[in-house]
Structure 1
Amino acid sequence: MQIVSVSSLKGGVGKSSVTLGLASAALADGVPTLVVDLDPHADATTGLGVHATSELNVGRVLARRSKPGAIRAVAVSSPWVTRETGDGGKRRLDVAPGSSASSPLDRSTYRAADLSRLVRALEGMAADYELVLIDCPPNLNALTRMAWAASTKVLSVAEPSLFSVAGTQRTMTAIAHFERDSPRAVGSAGVVVNRVHPDAREHRFRVDELNELFGPLLVAPVIPENQVWQRAQGSAWPIHRWPGADAEDLADRYTQILRGLLATGAPAEEHASAGE
């Protein structure tokens, strides 16, 4: 079972959008997937057409020491499944909904024992899921560290801008420090570049800069800025089922990234370019 944390220490870069794109690709490919929404804003939960309740939310599981596999108790099926297959078929895309119930853990202080909370809640889930996607809060807090502790890889999301490049450097440095200071190691890390305008000179420059900084850790292809994504998300609809050539291009890019993650056990090793 691959457990992938989608992270950024800078908000507004489309972290939840990348989580949704990968979830859509997994559903289209028939990969049994669980999305764990650790962000108290719960954008991924909303985009997947799910609503948290007082009983069905991931904060309820993480608020106390739980039994192995406890996240099953709050996981619900996304309506995306019936939109993909009509009747649901045998495809599986479940969501552990995010909500403000996670906010008490959205803090910088934590105990070493806290790192095992999500690890324990996901124990024994390999029979149910091939992939777990964790949408992290946009800061380095106890929730983010819990996600990293449980993950086989961390995918950092960047935009082609000066501030986002700096935020990506902070994220990758924080992962390195986490590895140094924690008994739990992250298997691998990578960077996916989101919201790219291929014709924008500044964007091309920043993608080249990210290539220079992170080399083979940069995931290909990049994700272009496209209004069709906003329309699909506004409808809580998987991009792989949205009509039109632009949606098809976005879907294909997410499928390439997903297959690279699952096939190699690490992000794709080819360099990205703004024109891909």
Structure 2
Amino acid sequence: MQIVSISSLKGGVGKSSVVLGLASAALEARVPTLVVDLDPHGDASTALGVHARAGQDVGSVLRRPRKGGLAAVAAPSPWTRHPITPEVSGTQQDPGWQPAGSPAVGRPVLDVAPGSAASSHLDHAAFRTKDLKRLETVLHGLERYELVLIDCPPTLSALTRMAWAASHMVLSVAEPSLFSVAGTKRTMSALAQFETSRIWAVPDAGVVVNRFRDGSDEQHHRLRELQELFGQLVVDPVLPDAPVVQQAQGAAWPVHRWPGTAASDLAGRFSSILQGMLH
């Protein structure tokens, strides 16, 4: 099971949108996936069509962690029932790609451990060392999934740190803008400091560039700045600033099954990023 945290210490960069795009790519590739929504706002859960009920959310499970506890609140996303529209079918990049061992028949698995305000009791800077094992504990033994995507809050809180502690990879989401570059530097510096502990070292990290406008000289400049700062950690391809992102999310629909060439291009980019994560 590959556990990946999607993080940013600056809000508004489209962190949850990246989670949703990767979930869509995993659904299309038939990779059994669990999305863990650690953000108290629960935006990823809403877009995936899963709503938390009282006591049936991530925050409630983390309050009293036990091994495999997330299985009790994980619910299937309606995305698995959405048909592929005629306009989209067959247009994705490498549509036949599947990781080795992925099931070829039956309905694909995309479950959500929904987020809610119940997680707020851990969305603060203060924490005890044992708090950092809470998420690792509740994920333990969930053999149903090959991939876990964690949507972190945009703060360096106990929630974010416990996500990093449980993860094999952390992806920092950045926009090619001055303030977002600074936020990415804070995120990667905090991650490097976190990794000074042999106990909590994260094996892999990357920077996903989101909302890139190819016609903007300023954004090209900031993209080069990110590449100079982080080198090979900058993930290829970058993700464009495309209206189709909001359209698909507003309909609670996976981008891989949304019609049109813009959706097809974006879907191919997310599929490429997913392949890089899983190989």
Q: Indicate the SS of the match to 1:91.
A: coil
Task: Determine if the alignment matches structure 1 residue 103 to structure 2 residue 120.
Answer: yes
The TM-score normalised by the length of structure 1 is 0.92
Of the three residues 109, 112, 132, the one matched with 1:92 is 109
d(CA) in 1 for partners of 2:149, 2:123 = 19
CA deviations over 1:155-212 (Å, ceiling 9, x no partner): 0000000000010000000001111146221111100000000010001111111111
Q: Does 1:213 align with 2:234?
A: no
Gaps of 5+ in 2: 86-104
Q: Given that residues 28 and 84 in structure 1 are in contact (C-alpha distance below 8 angstroms), is that contact kept between their aligned partners in structure 2?
A: no
Aligned partner of 1:222 in structure 2 is 238
- Answer yes or no: is 1:140 the counterpart of 2:139: no
Name the residue aligned to 2:41. 41
Query: Superposed, which structure 2 residues align to 1:163-202 within 5 Å?
Result: 163-181=179-197, 183-202=199-218
In 2, are the aligned partners of 1:2 and 1:131 still within 8 Å (CA)? yes
The aligned length equals: 260
In 2, Cα distance between equivalents of 1:212 and 1:240: 32
Give 1:90 shift: 2.8
Q: Which runs of 5+ in 1 are unaligned?
A: 264-276
| Aligned equivalents of 2:183, 2:198: Cα separation in 1 | 22
Q: Match for residue 116 of structure 1?
A: 133
The alignment partner of 2:176 has SS state of coil
Deviation at 1:234, TM superposition (A): 0.4
TM-score (norm 2): 0.91
Moved more, 100-109 or 174-183: 174-183
Mapped to 2, the partners of 1:219 and 1:77 lie a distance apart of: 29
Is contact 1:8–1:168 with CA below 8 Å preserved after alignment? yes
> In structure 2, do the counterparts of structure 1 residues 84 and 128 end up closer, same or farther at CA, with 3 Å as the change threshold?
farther
> In structure 2, how many angstroms separate the alpha carbons of the residues matched to 1:205 and 1:97?
38
Asked whether the 8 Å contact 1:2–1:152 carries over to 2, the reply is: yes
Aligned-partner Cα distance in 2 for 1:182–1:38: 24
User: Matches of 1:8 and 1:144 in 2, distance apart?
Assistant: 9
CA distance in 2, matches of 1:84, 1:235: 14
Superposed CA RMSD: 1.3
Letter in 2 for 1:99: S
* TM-superposition CA deviations, 1:102-152 (whole Å, max 9, x none): 011111000000000000001111x21110000000010000001000000
- Quick one: which amino acid aligns to residue 239 of structure 2? I
